[in-house]
């Protein structure tokens, strides 16, 4: 079916949707804001909480912010506002996306999510840091794993011991 075979009203609708494609981002932000706000408002909170700021405050503020941004963006798009292509000096817009890097990073994040419980945060975090460095182009095979292990251990100690945020230690639980 060529463009001459498409009825004019359907062609006009396609053109309008193509010119207002940013409305898809508005819908996504609206849905995300609704999910965050619903989750925050249905959160169980201890009655013994003191003060006006509790665990619901930040999620409610983020949810309201997402809803407000989605509405403001929709109004801007419907008034004729258009997103501009990035004109950064370090970005070559004529080059295609580097899908190898994107897929490597996605694989590293997925592997971390799967491994964090059985092997613990220090090991999974080290794999995350090393895998991200490798995916982004670092090829220092003797230095990167050491830096990744140091970052992971430092992150584990800061969160688990200093901030009181329990992270799974895995087999290293007794050592650390």
pLDDT digits (tens, 9 = 90+) for 33-81: 999 999 988 887 766 566 667 778 889 999 999 999 999 999 998 888 7
Torsion of CA 35, 40, 43, 45, to 10 degrees: 180
Instruction: Look over the chain and give the mean of its residue pLDDT values, rounded to a whole number.
Output: 84
- A 10 A CB-CB count for 7 gives 8
pLDDT of residue 70: 95
**What percent of the chain has pLDDT above 90?**
46
Cα–Cα distances (Å) from 120 to 46, 106, 150, 154, 156, in that order, read 29, 20, 15, 14, 10
Q: State the DSSP code for 88.
A: -
Q: Is the pLDDT of residue 150 over 60?
A: yes
Q: Pick the residue with more confidence: 2 or 94?
A: 94
Work out the pLDDT band at 24, boundaries 50, 70, 90.
confident
Provide the 10 A C-beta neighbour count for residue 129: 21
C-beta of residue 128 within 8 angstroms of C-beta of residue 147 = no
pTM (2 d.p.):
0.54
The candidate with the shortest Cα–Cα distance to 130, out of 98, 152, 157, 154, is 152
Tell which residue, 26, 135, 133, has the closest CA to residue 71.
26
Q: How confident is the model at residue 9 (pLDDT cuts 50, 70, 90)?
A: low
**31, 33, 58: which is closest to 43 by C-alpha?**
58
pLDDT recorded at residue 167: 87
Rounded Cα–Cα distance for residues 93 and 107 (Å): 25
Q: Which residue has the higher pLDDT, 146 or 17?
A: 146
């Amino acid at each position: 079916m060529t463009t001459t075979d498409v009825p004019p009203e359907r062609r006009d609708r396609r053109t309008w949707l193509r010119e207002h494609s940013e409305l898809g981002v508005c819908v996504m932000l609206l849905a995300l804001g609704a999910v965050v706000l619903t989750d925050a408002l249905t959160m169980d909170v201890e009655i013994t909480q003191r003060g006006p700021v509790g665990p619901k405050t930040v999620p409610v503020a983020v949810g309201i912010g997402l809803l407000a941004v989605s509405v403001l963006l929709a109004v801007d798009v419907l008034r004729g506002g258009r997103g501009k292509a990035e004109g950064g000096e370090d970005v070559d817009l004529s080059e295609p996306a580097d899908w190898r890097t994107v897929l490597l990073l996605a694989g590293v994040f997925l592997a971390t999510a799967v491994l964090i419980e059985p092997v613990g945060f220090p090991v999974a975090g080290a794999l995350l840091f090393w895998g991200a460095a490798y995916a982004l182009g670092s090829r220092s095979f003797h230095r990167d794993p050491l830096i990744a292990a140091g970052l992971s251990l430092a992150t584990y100690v800061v969160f688990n011991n200093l901030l009181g945020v329990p992270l799974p230690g895995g087999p290293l639980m007794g050592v650390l």
